[in-house]
Amino acid sequence: MEMGKEIRRLRNDRGLTQEALAAALNVTAQTVSKWECGNSIPDVQLLPEIAVYFGVSIDQLFAMSPEQQMERIENHIYDRGMFTEAEERQLEQQLRAFAEKPEHEGRAKTLLTKLYNNQAEQYRLLAVETGKEAVEKTGGDRDAISELCNAWGSYIPDWDFRNHHALIDWLGDYCRRNPDNRAALMWLLDNLIDDRRLTEAGEWLEKLARLDHSFRTPMYRYQIALAAGEKEESEQQLRVLEDMADSEWCCATTLGDIYTQRQDYDKAVAWYRKGQDLQPSPKFTDSARSIAHICEIRGDKAGAIEAYREELRLMKEEWGIISGEERDAVERAIRKLQ
């Protein structure tokens, strides 16, 4: 019924008769009348043609609110691998139309960023597979290896390529204008520490400490001390984190990350499992995936498969994900190990 009302509204807005719309869609005027009265709905195969004719999205034909349409788009992005050029252009046009309205601009541009990142990630995965073939077919050509490593996100030793100064400058300016934004402060700290700009990191950490009284402050103190080679201080902050882990599941999974980096894999797996146990529903899949990666590093294929299957279970039972690219990627990882 809502679709029929929307078709009638679109037709009236354009000054069309039912007969004119029927002729354009190659149906009878009686069929259009039934749609608009709510006695029937268009065949699903006709929906794209109706949407194109009126210059709207299929979602709009269902009279979905902008918020509902954007939620549907976000779910579509998560469910898919690479979009075709036509699909990407259609989603881009929809989101740019939403972005023209001030009340939807922020959300729409966030989703545009997700769309572009999705496409970039899919091209990166394509580059990895093509790059592996290029290395084999060229007999290990230096340029082919370089491109493969770049596609795979390899460490790059050249400072001028790997430093984050542009992002740090932008985040620093944003944090000065928005000093209470904890998320931006943490991203700033992450990049400062990675660039070994530790004095600046310490100064920004004091600003974060005034806002955040969770495990994150000792976590960053640990990272700064570790990067500075201050072993005693880093071990002291590690003990602080361990004492806090019983009450904060994120702290337990962070300890999993720390012990993975220390190559103490048994402790890492124990902390990841503790974090997953402490986490309220819906539980994230990160801990299971991290354990799978550790098992792969150790050559434990059976353990990796078990951990990936746990990830699939969490997707289904905690998030209701039973299909889509996210699940397909895990199933591909399992098949590769079998």
Residue 36 has pLDDT above 80, yes or no: yes
Contact of 321 with 78, CB cutoff 8 Å: no
Q: Taking all residues of the chain, what is their mean pLDDT, rounded to a whole number?
A: 93
Place of tokens 């036509």: 86
Q: What is the pLDDT of residues 179-236, one digit of tens each?
A: 999 999 999 999 999 999 999 999 999 999 999 999 999 999 999 999 999 999 999 9
Task: Name the pLDDT band for 72 (thresholds 50, 70, 90).
Answer: confident
Q: What is the pLDDT of residues 96-117, one digit of tens each?
A: 988 999 999 999 999 999 999 9
Using CB atoms within 10 Å of the CB of residue 63, give its burial: 0 to 12 exposed, 13 to 18 middle, 19+ buried.
middle
Residue 79 has pLDDT above 90, yes or no: no
Residue 39 has pLDDT above 60, yes or no: yes
Contact of 54 with 32, CB cutoff 8 Å: no
Residue 5's contacts (CB-CB under 8 Å, 6 or more residues apart) are 36, 38, 63
Q: Per-residue DSSP letters for 165-210?
A: HHHHHHHHHHHHH-TT-HHHHHHHHHHHHHTT-HHHHHHHHHHHHH
Q: Assign residue 63 a region: left if phi > 0, alpha if psi is -120 to 50, beta otherwise?
A: left
Indicate if the alpha-carbon torsion angle 10, 12, 13, 17 is positive or negative: positive
Contact of 276 with 254, CB cutoff 8 Å: no
306/295 Cα distance (integer angstroms) = 10
Looking at residues 298-303, what average pLDDT do you find? 97
Task: Name the pLDDT band for 31 (thresholds 50, 70, 90).
Answer: very high
pLDDT at residue number 148: 97
Q: What is the pLDDT of residues 141-176, one digit of tens each?
A: 999 999 999 999 999 999 999 999 999 999 999 999
Residue 1 has pLDDT above 60, yes or no: no
Distances from the Cα of 249 to the Cα of 244, 267, 281, 300, angstroms? 9, 15, 12, 26
Task: Name the pLDDT band for 69 (thresholds 50, 70, 90).
Answer: confident
Task: Tell me the domains of the chain and their CATH numbers.
Answer: 2-113 (1.10.260.40), 281-338 (no CATH)
161/59 Cα distance (integer angstroms) = 43
Contact of 209 with 218, CB cutoff 8 Å: no
Q: What is the pLDDT of residues 230-270, one digit of tens each?
A: 999 999 999 999 999 998 999 999 999 999 999 999 999 99
Residue 26 has pLDDT above 60, yes or no: yes
Q: At 68, is the secondary structure helix, strand, or coil?
A: helix
Looking at residues 54-75, what average pLDDT do you find? 80
